[in-house]
Structure 1
Amino acid sequence: MRNAIGVFFKKTGFYLVFLILPVVWFLIFGLKTPTQWEISPISTISIRGVYFCTCLVVYFIIKKLKKVKYIKIGIELLTISLFINLLDGFILNKSNFLMSRYLAKDILTGIGFLFIIMGSYILARQERNIETDLQIERNLFKTLMDSIPDYIYFKDRENKFVRVNKARAKASGTTPEKMIGKTDFDFFPEKEAKQAFDDDTRVLKTGKPLINKIEELTLYDGKKHWISATKVPWYNDKGEIIGTMGISRDITSHIEVQRKLQESEEKFRILAESSPIGIYLIQDGVIKYVNPKASEMFGYKIDELIGKDVLETVIHPDDRDMVRENIRKRINGEINFVNYSFRAVKKTGEVFDAEVFGSRIIYRDRPAIIGMIMDVTERKKMEEKLRDLTIKDYLTGLFNYRYFNERIKEQINLFKRYREVFSLLYIDIDGFKNCNDTYGHQKGDEILQSIGKIFRDNLRDTDSAYRIGGEEFVIILAHTSKEQARKVAERIREQVHQKLYPFYKITVSIGVADSKIGEEVVKIADEA
């Protein structure tokens, strides 16, 4: 109650006297008529005039406080009382009828002032609640200001600090209180302070904010710091610019990370562009990067490859499923690193053998694949040649005995599992020793080469011929019955007779066996 009255008196000042006076008047004289006062009518008119003027002054003062419903009601009642007083000031009556009117007028005045007092008390309570709310908001604002790591400050139109948070004061090696009333010239080198002053002045004059300006400032520790500064106009309730508000963030660590990243990217670029091996980056099945060597390998310009679907652009159609599956496994994290070969396609349509080494990485917050690619066409050819040396007879070009053992086992397993029939021809050259003795070993080698050619000319791609001894040969006929094999054997025998017998008296003996005999097929063919 004491606080409420104090706030009310603070708001109304000495006008409180004009509020109390009519109340006291009412308590002393309000319930009496002029005849009971035992004074002359002239004095009554004077007293009524003073009463009227007092109420009129209070009416206009209280009208300014018309913020509460009770005050509004009191003013309305007081208005009626003033109107009656106006009549009393000019009409002098002594009848009992008028006496009752005076009584009603005084009661209205009293009730009106009671309502005004009640409303004033409520208004005072509201003022106290507003002060409490404002204090809470001030505390919240201060807590927020001091807990934010960014630098926050307010400046007046002379660019003097009006308020700063702890982070801003700490950056200048002082406290918020000691910064009030000072300028940037008190905390920064002159050149940096002048730039800050010019920025603040520009915002004040133009009313346009300065957003995220990157600048280098010397802070309290004497070191250079990169700062991202934002400055906006500070307005009062009338919309007038009364200063500036600034928010700055120390981004030195961010700049340092960016610098290191740029250095790393530059090193990678130099390494990649000078590499003799193709380097690629794929994300979402799309080519994101290729180095010059990779683009040269495929016959494209770099810009022609970037953004293209890797499968549709450079992978042979028959190998796309295999490559797609390898990409999927790496992207999903099933495997981290792969090394495999596939057939690639150049821009011209030329097909070549490629080998890739690739691993999964995170590129721009999403999984991607980075790796190396090499054209291994020549290497494949060399490998084929080396393989031929290990599985082929150097003289006839037919497969050798070791490779025959591998293939016959495969054929027998296929027959056991899938019942895939095959036949075997066991061939022996008749009279070859006499030919060697008569014509010499060189001519004997030519005869062997001729027989090898006759075999190849009469076989399909699925068939294979083997030299298993000096003048002994075996032919595997895939998916061939014994009857069909006899026809092949007869065709070979006739061609040997036509091409070699007239000159060297050379013939061949051919034994035939099929897979129905089982694992004894080789022995049976030899005996046949």
Structure 2
Amino acid sequence: MQNRYLEYFNESPSLFIKFKSNSNKIEYITNNVTTLLDYTLDEVLDSSFSFENIIHKGDYKVIKKELEELNSSNEIELSPYRVLTKNSNYIWVKEIRKKFYDNKTNENHICSYISNITKEINLKKNLFYTNKIIKTVYDNSVHLIALLKPNGTLIKANKTALEFINKDEKEIINKKFWDTNWWDESQKQIIKKDIKKASKGNLVHSEKKVFDEYYIELTIKPVYDENRVIYLVCEGKDITQAKKKEKRINHYNEIINKQLISITNKEGVIKECSDAFCELTGYDKNELVGKKHNILKHSNNSDEKYKDLWETITLNKTWKGKLKNKTKDGRAFWVENIITPNCDENGNIESYTAIYNNITRNKKIKEKLITDELTNIYNRRYFNKIFKKYYKRFQKYDENFVLMIIDIDYFKQYNDNYGHLKGDEVLKDVAQTLKLNLRKCDYVFRIGGEEFAILISINKHNVSKIIANKLKEAIYNLNITHEFSFYKRLTISIGVKQVNKKPLLKNKIEIFNDADKALYKAKQNGRNRVFTFLDT
């Protein structure tokens, strides 16, 4: 029987120790000392081993006083204390010590029962700190927190919530959460439904208006005890400023969307654009985003203008200019454009913002003022302006140019015999043919009845005559019948004045007269000719 008891003690989680009378020397100890303290039986039964030496010094001061009480009692449960294992780890233990006598008066030995309670101590410690953290979070949370019964009765509210509603806790305890003065009547029934839903185990999340002027983001969370909801935690986040900011942003977005604005990445791919910009271009936003602005590019724009644009903005400078664009259905529109680079905190360009001013109406009015109504090319008024600009550039920068004066041969006879309607058609055909056979940067004007003028920037000598002959041949190749002309078809005569000699003593009138004299010579020499005026 005794062996069976010993077997039980050796396998027990509790350590049994028998101390020598009035000492910390161990007389007997169960085998499980190795499991609990990592020591072997021989090590702890050695005369040099003292149990006192493995007790934490701070804890020993406490239990030493408690052990003195054994003098007046036969059994004592010591306060939990730490002992150092052979592997240098402290574990918490609980100990009960008892006195045993050989007879009623003579003390013989002391026995101890020691259990490892490290897990329990750590759990208590963790629970303590967890509760402390929860209390700290609860008391100091920036959010509004209230604890409810599943039926919606208020049990508790944190400091932030009470300050927000300007109430003492005792004023709201035991009230129904929906039956309080911070909700308006329209919301009370909604809150009641939310509480009912949460009490069934659902997480309820919504935005609510409080006191008719504040906004909160309200979350109602169920708390379970096994499978039963025992509490509801209401957490409210004050989003009043965020809502006001959102309203301001929406207001600004409405304003922005009424403006003509687009934003691109640094490669020129559209990232965002306003509603007004979409309306102007005729494209939906999803048709523009991800595309480059060249889908709007009109063929009349020069490549030099776009080159200047990109050279400017890639140097982190603002570009300003006017561009002709086309809508989705091909209609032309004009914009005054300001493109501004957007940089990151290191000054590196990351995107561009383009702001547009629709100047199509003004441009159309201006174009009407400078356009010949019949032929749809530039008129005499615009010729005077551009001729003046060419002349000034020549004087200031030595930029050479060519003036050509063109006349349709025997046009009066064509008009008289084929009629004015046919004559108008011929004027249109000649005007468009001249325009198509020139560069985009060159100008062609109708300056009189059947008289046209051309201005060309040119540097190479004699190139002007080649261009003039090309134009003459283009009209000839239209093969328009003119039985009352020497050539039996429509022809033109061209007078050329190349302005490339300095110092130039002539003024604009003299230059024009020189080109006109050259035209006269071309007509005098049989028409359908090019004649160049040479300075002598």
TM-score by length of 2: 0.47
**Which structure dedicates a bigger proportion of its chain to helix?**
1
Q: Higher strand fraction: Structure 1 or Structure 2?
A: 2
Larger radius of gyration: 1
Give the alignment's TM-score, normalised by structure 1: 0.48
